[in-house]
Amino acid sequence: MSLMCDTCYRINDKRKYKSWLKCKDKNCSGYMIEVDELFLPSISLLNKKGYRTAYCCSAHIWENDICDPYISFDSYIKFPNLPKGFDYDKNIWPDVKWDNHNEGDKCIRKIIDVTISEEDKHEQLLITSLDLLNWVKQLPYIQENNELCKLP
């Protein structure tokens, strides 16, 4: 895990800062939160662009029954497109009663085959993190009310 400020989304080195410490930027009142290293640049940029995240997981190669990197957002956001291989939870698991949980449209996820070797899972997770970062880079900035900003 690495650390990111929950207010300015600045990335900091965990070796120097602990998650309970305030952001090192004296003009910021935020605190450091832990984020998976593979998703750290993407999560920071998503938040800077206005796509407020709630939590995420870049998945783990040692899991035998599930390998599904995901990002959950604070609220529903209509994306112009999704990163390669990702879909909304409500589309991945259509039989879930999302009305009860209201989360199926707030989380994007990619399912990776758990029957492949650990090396292949690791490769897939690295490719996924790169695909995610490239997707985030092309996303437009949004306003606070989740409307797309008009870019020049």
Where in the chain are the domains? 64-138
Q: Read off the pLDDT of residues 79-107 as tens digits, 9 standing for 90 and up.
A: 989 999 999 998 988 888 877 666 778 89
pLDDT band of 142, cuts 50, 70, 90: confident
Share of the chain above pLDDT 90, in %: 42
Between CA 93 and CA 104 the distance in angstroms is 8
**Least-confidence region, from 1-10, 29-38, 91-100, 123-132:** 91-100
Specify the residue for token string 């990002």: 71
Is pLDDT above 90 for 125? yes
Read off the amino acid at residue 139. L
Note the pLDDT of residue 146: 52
Across the chain, which distance is largest between two alpha carbons, in Å?
48
Query: From start to end of 36-111, where are the E strands?
Result: 53-57, 70-73, 87-88, 107-109
